[in-house]
């Protein structure tokens, strides 16, 4: 016997959209309604009270689930999304999971009871177990900054690999070959993608990273201490690829504590272009991520799904990354005897 999932699959819509058509509740465009009605006829689906999975009224509430709020990137993202939702008649319910998958599962249970209209999520990992419950309830989901491939095809993110390749290629063009990689948290999909991008760029140049420090705590102090430990192990890079601006700033402080000048003795790059990147001295060379555009595009896609419409594509170039050159990178300085800076 055909079910509501079969209708959604055949019509190319979500369970929530099929539910709205069946119950005549909530907005569905005329074109989408025709697709759903045609799929109902073709499958022979017979809705009943126990199978509808329908909310009779929209809550006009959207949940935003983030792994942290004390990381500036997520704070900016949350602000942009909350403002965009409010301007379009929705209330944002912001949930911080503290990088904990168990907290994600608890929040999912809370969101189901709150009957939210949709969910925007920056997941801790790509594990979709907790979010499957939202999908089963017919709640539209858009992933941000990383994918949830088993739950939703809708993800709004920058190209993390390409961004890190850009940073590595910048250092290589300056003559650096002894390059360290520093970042956190290691379980983060974007960090894993950035690490692969850095490795790819270095491999293309015929070299491997001098050393890699990937921690699990993404804080200035933790990244500084991680870089200090690499120095103490005898590593003397001429350049450091920070997987985030926070990691890069931690590396700058670690270099200063070991008597190294930036960029004369060691060049440093970051990733994100947070406001803090302009507050350090010298200002941080970094890869700028379009966090505000990502937030707006995620809202556009989710509200389209809620309305039963096809999500709009981002404007050309809106989610592109760009290299921002500031004062923390410079050309490799070769000293007498053929030695290089930082040695």
Domain residue limits, the chain: 4-43, 61-156, 160-289+323-333
Question: Given pLDDT bands bounded at 50, 70 and 90, which one contains residue 158?
Answer: very high
Q: Do domains 61-156 and 160-289+323-333 have the same CATH topology?
A: yes
The DSSP-derived string for 159-211 is -HHHHHHHHHHHHHHTT--SEEEEES-TT-HHHHHHHHHHHHHHHHTT---SE
Task: Tell me what the mean pLDDT of segment 195-221 comes to.
Answer: 97
As to burial, measured by CB atoms within 10 angstroms (0-12 exposed, 13-18 middle, 19+ buried), residue 326 is middle
Residue with the larger pLDDT of the pair 41 and 93: 93
Residue with the larger pLDDT of the pair 208 and 15: 208
Which range among 55-59, 275-279, 293-297 shows the weakest confidence by mean pLDDT? 55-59
Separation between Cα atoms, residue 79 and residue 256, nearest integer Å: 34
State the pTM of this model: 0.80
Cβ neighbors of 41 (< 8 A, separation 6 or more) are none
Q: Could you report the per-residue pLDDT of 314-323, keeping only the tens digit for each?
A: 889 999 999 9
Q: Could you report the per-residue pLDDT of 212-271, keeping only the tens digit for each?
A: 999 999 999 999 999 999 999 999 999 999 999 999 999 999 999 999 999 999 999 999
Q: How many CA atoms lie within 13 A of 230 on its CB side?
A: 27
Among 97-101, 135-139, 143-147, 294-298, top mean pLDDT goes to: 294-298
Query: What dotted CATH number matches 160-289+323-333?
Result: 3.40.50.2300
Separation between Cα atoms, residue 315 and residue 297, nearest integer Å: 9
Task: Tell me what the mean pLDDT of segment 308-333 comes to.
Answer: 93
Question: Given pLDDT bands bounded at 50, 70 and 90, which one contains residue 37?
Answer: confident
Task: Tell me what the mean pLDDT of segment 27-55 comes to.
Answer: 72
CATH 3.40.50.2300 for the 61-156 domain, yes or no:
yes
As to burial, measured by CB atoms within 10 angstroms (0-12 exposed, 13-18 middle, 19+ buried), residue 328 is buried
Q: Could you report the per-residue pLDDT of 72-113, keeping only the tens digit for each?
A: 899 999 999 999 999 999 999 999 988 888 888 889 888 888
């Amino acid at each position: 016997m055909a079910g509501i999932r079969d209708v959604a699959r055949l019509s190319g819509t979500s369970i929530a959209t099929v539910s709205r058509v069946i119950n005549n509740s909530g907005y569905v465009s005329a074109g989408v309604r025709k697709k759903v009605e045609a799929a109902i006829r073709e499958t022979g689906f017979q809705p009943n009270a126990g199978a509808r999975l329908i909310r009779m009224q929209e809550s006009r509430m959207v949940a935003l689930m983030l792994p942290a709020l004390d990381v500036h990137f997520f704070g900016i993202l949350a602000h942009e999304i909350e403002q965009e939702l409010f301007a379009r008649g929705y209330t944002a319910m912001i949930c911080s999971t503290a990088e904990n998958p168990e907290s994600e599962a608890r929040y999912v249970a809370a969101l189901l009871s709150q009957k939210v209209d949709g969910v925007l999520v920056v997941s801790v990992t790509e594990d979709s177990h907790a979010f499957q419950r939202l999908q089963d309830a017919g709640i539209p989901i858009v992933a941000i900054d990383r994918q949830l491939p088993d739950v939703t095809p809708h993800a709004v993110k920058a190209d993390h690999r390409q961004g890190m390749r850009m940073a590595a290629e910048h250092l290589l063009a300056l003559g650096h070959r002894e390059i360290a990689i520093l970042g956190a948290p290691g379980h983060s999909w974007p960090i894993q993608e950035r690490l692969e991008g850095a490795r790819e760029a270095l491999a293309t140049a015929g070299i491997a990273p001098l050393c890699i420090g990937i921690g699990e705590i993404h804080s200035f102090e933790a990244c500084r201490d991680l870089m200090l430990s690499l120095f103490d192990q005898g590593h003397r890079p001429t350049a450091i690829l920070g997987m985030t601006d926070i990691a890069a700033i931690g590396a700058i402080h670690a270099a200063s504590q070991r008597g190294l000048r930036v960029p004369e003795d060691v060049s440093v790059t970051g990733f994100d272009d947070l406001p803090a990147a302009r507050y350090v001295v010298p200002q941080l060379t970094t890869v700028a991520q379009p966090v505000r555009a990502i937030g707006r595009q995620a809202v556009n896609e989710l509200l389209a799904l809620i309305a039963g419409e096809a999500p709009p594509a981002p404007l050309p170039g809106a989610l592109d990354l760009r290299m921002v050159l500031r004062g923390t990178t410079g050309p490799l300085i070769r000293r007498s005897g053929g030695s290089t800076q930082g040695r």
